[in-house]
């Protein structure tokens, strides 16, 4: 199967993106941001719609710009404490979906983004893989330098501030990185399942890990394994790659969940 260039490109992309999903997923789960990443994925509708409305030919540009604005604004409103965090995220998610669909259906362009729903990693090209490499390097650098601080923020924000940690700056940088990697990947992974690929490996890892080092190791390994097995299986069975990867990740999660239950008992 890897005699075909599109399969080699897809494999390279998976080898780059799945470990990053594993790392980012651990930070998302630690900071209780699962709903946030899902809302961010749904905001892609509005990003694509506004790009078409403004005449931006490259959807990726409009996706990233809107996602960054969306994530920073959501962070800002969360600080107001006017309503609960999950309620605010739900409102933003619903609004972004509705606004995007209204714009797209009004201009008759909705059919043009049908591929974004489930994605197609087999269409990735070398130039796009290069973008992924750049983002992956930035995320690894951020993770190596800021993980302990983000962990401190997730445990106790007030204590983190007292230790001199610039909480808001780190949170904004973190959500911008999430927004960028999600929107760069959504074309190949799909709006409907992007959040699953971020959360499932980290959640599975949490079921079997005894310390933070194991937590990150297993999250990256599970994400990488799910990506490669999902790609090979989808080719062999003639089915969509993104959903197949999610199904592999889901099976691993349920296996680790059962393992944890028996271990506790």
Per-block average pLDDT, block size 10, for the chain (265 residues)? 85 89 84 75 78 76 84 75 71 80 69 67 84 86 84 79 83 84 78 80 91 90 93 90 89 92 72
Residue in 182, 180, 183, 217 with CA at minimum distance from that of residue 201: 217
Distance from C-alpha of 46 to C-alpha of 179, rounded to nearest angstrom: 14
- Domains in the chain (CATH in brackets) are 5-189 (1.10.3470.10)
Contacts of 205 (CB under 8 A, 6+ apart): 22, 26, 214, 215, 216, 217, 218, 219, 222, 256
- The pLDDT of residue 30: 77
The neighbour count for residue 24, using CB atoms within 10 Å, is 26
- The pLDDT of residue 81: 64
Query: Which of 132-144 are b and which e, b meaning 16 or more Cβ less than 10 Å from the residue's Cβ?
Result: beebbeebeebbe
- The pLDDT of residue 115: 64
- The pLDDT of residue 221: 94
Give the rounded distance of the alpha carbon of 146 from its chain centre: 19
User: Please, are residues 231 and 10 in contact by the beta-carbon 8 Å criterion?
Assistant: yes
Phi-psi region of 41 (alpha: psi -120 to 50; beta: other; left: phi over 0): alpha
């Amino acid at each position: 199967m890897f005699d075909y260039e599109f399969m080699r490109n897809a494999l390279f992309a998976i080898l780059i993106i799945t470990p990053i999903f594993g790392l980012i997923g651990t930070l998302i789960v630690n900071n209780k941001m699962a709903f946030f990443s899902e809302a961010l994925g749904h905001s892609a509708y509005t990003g694509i719609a506004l790009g078409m409305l403004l005449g931006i030919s490259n959807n990726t540009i409009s996706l990233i710009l809107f996602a960054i604005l969306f994530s920073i604004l959501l962070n800002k409103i969360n600080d107001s404490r006017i309503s609960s965090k999950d309620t605010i995220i739900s409102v933003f998610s619903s609004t972004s979906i509705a606004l995007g669909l209204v714009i797209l259906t009004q201009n008759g362009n909705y059919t043009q983004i049908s591929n974004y729903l489930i994605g197609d990693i087999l269409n990735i090209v070398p130039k796009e893989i290069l973008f992924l490499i750049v983002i992956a390097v930035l995320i690894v650098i951020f993770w190596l330098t800021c993980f302990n601080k983000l962990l401190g923020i997730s445990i106790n924000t007030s204590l983190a501030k007292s230790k001199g940690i610039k909480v808001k700056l780190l949170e904004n940088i973190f959500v911008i990185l999430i927004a960028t990697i999600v929107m760069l990947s959504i074309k190949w992974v799909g709006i409907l399942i992007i959040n699953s690929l971020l959360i499932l490996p980290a959640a599975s890892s949490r079921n079997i890990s005894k310390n933070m080092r194991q937590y990150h190791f297993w999250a990256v390994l599970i994400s990488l394994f799910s990506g490669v097995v999902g790609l090979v299986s989808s080719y062999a069975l003639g089915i969509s790659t993104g959903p197949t990867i999610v199904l592999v990740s889901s099976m691993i999660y349920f296996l680790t969940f059962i393992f944890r239950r028996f271990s506790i008992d």
